[in-house]
């Protein structure tokens, strides 16, 4: 069956709402408006305004209410329109949801799922385009997911809801319209939220990517294959906790790695990955690990500038060539 | 609401009308060029709400500060930002008022003390408080105009800003453009107290209400609020009751409101009702109306030509203006 990433997310929400009365969805314009990215379109009609709950413009308030509802026995799914606006709620997420289990000596836990859009590529400029998922991946107590495929968009919510701790699910804005085949049987999308996945096998270099970067990494790998360079592409899927063994395993095979991250380089998730490769596979590396990240500017509006600021397949190809000494 | 006589002479009345027409034509062109793919990103049109910017903005002095939202093309234009620079910014060009970095939502003009298009709902309010604090600390007489939609009233930033401004007696005029919907969420679906003036008053901020479809009401009410503030009276709040005729942004399928409601509000459209009053009072002829409109359209056409011809910023300049050129 052909299905879009957006529809896959929606069907996962529908399943969750249908199968567990504790689950409800809340956020700005998730109901009448149909979701700012139309993910929840039609769910209000199917489940009613108690369970598909429009909130006022109060990110701090309703994310905090999600934490409270989770403490109170519900399984809330909170949608924050974009990661950019989640900064208004960061206190509740970081000082609250993430810390409560530990602070309470294990007495409390927060089974909350927070979904948000992330990333650039739609010319929305510096207050709507950033990739702050690395900031959340910094925080112990959170689990951070980045579905990059239709199957993961369909499959990750169920284990996220089953997780006893707060989970943040990042949906890259460039992926919503992505279409692909997905079988009807749950086995087509059932997945864990622990491990990275190899999306393409190769022996010359490992390209590590996630979210919106995965397709670009695969595009780069196709291009490299045309030059006789077989790249292995690893999709992180889970940004926290990182599946370090899978990354190390691949690099021990290929001896080279490039990390693709739409966040900035400085103090970033990509920096963390490079550090782990150094710690765990230093003597297996034949070249310094490369990185393709966003340029260190707030995301500009104009198309040529936005494109120049973002990781592109061409930049990934160039980074790989550099590692292989083929400039 | 019955509209009374227009208390201005022919020249100032026509100037108000001309400004509303300039905003309307600018917005229509923006929609058209969005359709043509020249303008991208989010585009929030002000069509229907022109009386607010046209009536309120001229009440502020050159030395005052202005803080606006992502629905700010009209405010920027009324502030005196050249239409060429606004259009070029929407086209993403290097000659745009934010060098192509901001786009429709982030128009800036520091020289005109226009502190931007802010696309974080409620994000401008604390800024306005800080600008007013600076004015107070520097013993300067300027006031701060802070525009925001009624949706922002739900944000913590609104409440914290109202409180600070009142507590410290800061000269901020909180200009709430209540167009009844925050994206798809009607006011009554997001506020337990829908009387916004009551909220302001609960912070001891005096509140006034204006008919935002009537440029006269907007202007008079704004002047009234400002007169008190300029006499050293601390902050004030004005609710402008208005309506957006178009979708929230270019991505909005408008599932949440009835076409009939939109049509009913269009009957109260700020431009045609004001023109009709001026004509009835002998302050405007049809020829004069057409001439004003033609002038607005010509200005817009020139701005589009300017924006289209302007160059993009070279990609080599991507990294400029992130931090100061000189190392500290
Ligand atoms: C903090 C934050 N949350 C959500 C959004 C998404 N958003 C953009 S405009 C808008 C509606 C705001 O409505 P209102 O304040 O009434 O202003 P209007 O658009 O009607 O002019 C929303 C929810 C945002 N930009 N910022």
**Tens digit of pLDDT for each residue in B222-280?**
999 999 999 988 999 999 999 999 999 988 889 899 999 999 999 999 999 999 999 99
> What are the backbone dihedrals phi and psi of residue A116, each rounded to the nearest 5 degrees, phi first?
-150, 150
CA-based nearest distance A121→chain B, Å: 9
Q: What ranges in chain A are assigned the alpha helix state H?
A: 5-19, 43-47, 59-71, 83-86, 90, 100-103, 133-137, 150-155, 157-162, 212-225, 244-254, 269-281, 303-309, 313-323
The DSSP secondary structure of B72-131, one letter per residue, reads -HHHHHHHT--HHHHHHHHTT-TTSTTTTSS-TT---BGGGTEEEEE-STTTHHHHHHHH
- What atom of ligand 1 comes closest to residue B42's alpha carbon? 8
- Confidence class of residue B2 from pLDDT cuts 50, 70 and 90? low
CA distance A100 to A238: 22
Q: Which of residues 253-272 of B touch A (CB under 8 A)?
A: 253, 255-256
Q: Cβ atoms within 10 A of the Cβ of A262, count?
A: 31
pLDDT confidence of residue B326: 83
Predicted-assembly ipTM surpassing the 0.95 threshold: no
User: At how many degrees (to 10) do helices B215-230 and B10-35 cross?
Assistant: 110
- Quick: pLDDT tens for B29-53: 999 999 999 999 999 999 999 999 9
* pLDDT value of position B328: 78
Contact B120 A127 (CB under 8 A): yes
Q: Is A121 on the interface with B (CB under 8 A)?
A: no
Architecture of domain A197-323: 3-Layer(aba) Sandwich (3.40)
Rounded CA-CA distance B125/B146 in Å is 7
Q: What is the pTM of this model?
A: 0.94
**Which residues in chain A land under pLDDT 70?**
none
Under the banding of pLDDT at 50, 70 and 90, the label for residue B307 is very high
* Chain CA centroid to CA A250, Å: 21
Pocket of ligand 1, beta carbon within 6 A:
A 28, 57, 59, 81, 85, 88; B 71, 119-121, 148-152, 179, 181-183, 248
Contacting A residues, span 153-172, partner chain B, CB-CB under 8 Å: none
The atom of ligand 1 lying closest to the CA of B248 is: 19
CB A268 within 8 A of CB A134: yes
Q: What is the side-by-side order of every strand in the sheet holding A205-209?
A: A197-200, A231-235, A205-209, A257-264, A290-294
The residues facing A235 across adjacent strands are A197, A209
Mean pLDDT value of segment B316-320 = 96
Q: Taking 60 as the threshold, does the pLDDT of residue B1 lie above it? A: no
CATH topology of domain B10-311: Rossmann fold (3.40.50)
d(C-alpha B107, C-alpha B115), whole Å:
8
CA-to-CA dists, residue B152 to A58, A225, B219, angstroms: 9, 51, 23
Instruction: For residue A113, give the H/E element and its range.
Output: strand A113-118
Looking at the domain A2-188, which fold is it? Rossmann fold (3.40.50)
Mean pLDDT of B317-328: 90
User: B190-207, pLDDT tens digit by residue?
Assistant: 999 999 999 999 999 999
Quote the CA–CA distance of B258 and B250 in Å, as a whole number.
18
Q: Residue B251: what pLDDT?
A: 82
- How far, in Å, CA of B83 to CA of B306, rounded? 10
The yes-or-no verdict on residue B327 having pLDDT over 80 is no
Strand order in the sheet with B114-118: B114-118, B65-69, B144-149, B172-178, B236-241, B207-211
Q: Summarize pLDDT for B121-154 with one digit per residue, the tens.
A: 999 999 999 999 999 999 999 999 999 999 999 9
pLDDT given at position B249: 92
pLDDT at B26 over 60: yes
SS3 of B148, please? Answer: strand
**Please, where are the H alpha helices in chain B?**
10-35, 50-56, 73-79, 83-90, 124-137, 156-167, 196-202, 215-230, 259-267, 270-280, 286-309
Instruction: For chain B, state the CA radius of gyration.
Output: 19
Q: Which residues of chain A form CATH 3.40.50.920?
A: 197-323
3-state secondary structure of A207: strand
Portions of chain A given CATH number 3.40.50.970: 2-188
> Is A128 a residue of the active site?
yes
Is residue B132 within 8 Å of residue B169, measured between CB atoms? no
Separation of CA B312 and ligand 1 centre (Å):
29
* A59 carries an active-site annotation: yes
């Amino acid at each position: 069956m052909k299905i879009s990433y957006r529809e896959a997310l929606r069907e996962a929400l529908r399943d969750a709402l249908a199968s567990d009365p504790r689950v409800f969805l809340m956020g700005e314009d998730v109901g009448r408006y149909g979701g700012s990215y139309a993910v929840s379109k039609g769910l209000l009609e199917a489940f009613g305004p108690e369970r598909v709950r429009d909130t006022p413009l109060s990110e701090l308030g309703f994310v905090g209410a999600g934490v409270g509802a989770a403490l109170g026995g519900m399984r809330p799914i909170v949608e924050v329109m974009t990661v950019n606006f989640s900064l208004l709620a960061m206190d509740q997420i970081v000082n609250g949801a993430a810390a409560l289990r530990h602070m309470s000596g294990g007495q409390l836990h927060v089974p909350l799922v927070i979904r948000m859009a992330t990333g650039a590529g739609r010319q929305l400029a510096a207050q709507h385009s950033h990739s702050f998922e690395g900031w959340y991946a910094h925080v112990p107590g959170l689990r951070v997911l980045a579905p990059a495929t239709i199957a993961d968009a369909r499959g990750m919510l169920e284990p996220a809801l089953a997780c006893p701790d707060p989970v943040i699910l990042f949906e890259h804005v460039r992926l919503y319209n992505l279409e692909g085949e997905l079988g009807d049987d749950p086995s087509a999308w059932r997945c864990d939220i622990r491990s990275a996945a190899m999306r393409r096998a190769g022996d010359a270099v490992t390209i590590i990517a996630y979210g919106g970067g995965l397709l670009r990494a695969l595009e780069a790998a196709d291009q490299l294959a045309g030059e006789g360079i077989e790249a292995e592409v690893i999709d992180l899927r889970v940004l926290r906790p990182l599946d370090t063994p899978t990354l190390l395993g691949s690099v021990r095979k290929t001896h080279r790695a490039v990390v693709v991250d739409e966040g900035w380089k400085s103090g970033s998730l990509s920096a963390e990955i490079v550090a782990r490769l150094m710690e765990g596979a230093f003597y297996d590396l034949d070249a310094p690990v490369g990185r393709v990240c966003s340029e260190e500017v707030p995301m500009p509006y104009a198309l040529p500038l936005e494109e120049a600021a973002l990781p592109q397949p061409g930049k990934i190809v160039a980074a790989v060539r550099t590692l292989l000494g083929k400039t | 609401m019955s509209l009374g006589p227009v208390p201005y002479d022919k020249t100032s009345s026509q100037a108000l009308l001309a400004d509303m027409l300039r905003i309307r034509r600018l917005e229509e062109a923006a929609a058209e060029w969005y359709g043509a793919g020249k303008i991208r990103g989010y585009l929030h049109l002000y069509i229907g709400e022109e009386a607010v910017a046209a009536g309120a903005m001229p009440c502020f002095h050159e030395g005052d500060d202005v803080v606006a939202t992502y629905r700010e093309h009209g405010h920027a234009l009324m502030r005196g930002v050249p239409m060429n620079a606004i259009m070029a910014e929407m086209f993403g060009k290097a000659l745009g008022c934010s060098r192509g970095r901001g786009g429709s939502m982030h128009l800036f003009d520091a020289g005109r003390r226009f502190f931007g298009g802010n696309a974080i709902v409620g994000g401008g309010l604390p800024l306005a408080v800080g600008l007013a604090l600076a004015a107070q600390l520097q013993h300067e007489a300027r006031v701060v105009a802070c525009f925001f939609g009624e949706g922002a009233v739900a944000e913590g930033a609104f409440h914290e800003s109202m409180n600070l401004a009142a507590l410290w007696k800061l000269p901020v005029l909180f200009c709430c453009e209540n167009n009844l919907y925050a994206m798809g969420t009607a006011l009554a679906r997001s506020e337990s107290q829908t009387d916004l003036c009551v909220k302001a008053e609960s912070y001891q901020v005096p509140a006034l209400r204006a008919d935002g479809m009537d440029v006269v009401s907007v202007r008079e009410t704004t002047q009234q609020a400002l007169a008190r503030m300029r006499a050293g009276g601390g902050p004030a709040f004005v609710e402008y009751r208005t309506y957006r005729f178009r979708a929230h942004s270019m991505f909005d399928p408008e599932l949440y409101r009835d076409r009939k409601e939109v049509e009913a509000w269009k009957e109260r459209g700020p431009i045609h009702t004001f023109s009709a009053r001026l004509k009835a009072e002998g302050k405007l002829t049809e020829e004069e109306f057409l001439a004003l409109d033609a002038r607005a359209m010509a200005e817009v056409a020139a701005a589009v030509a300017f924006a289209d011809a302007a160059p993009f910023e070279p990609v080599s300049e991507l990294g400029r203006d992130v931090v100061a050129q000189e190392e500290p």
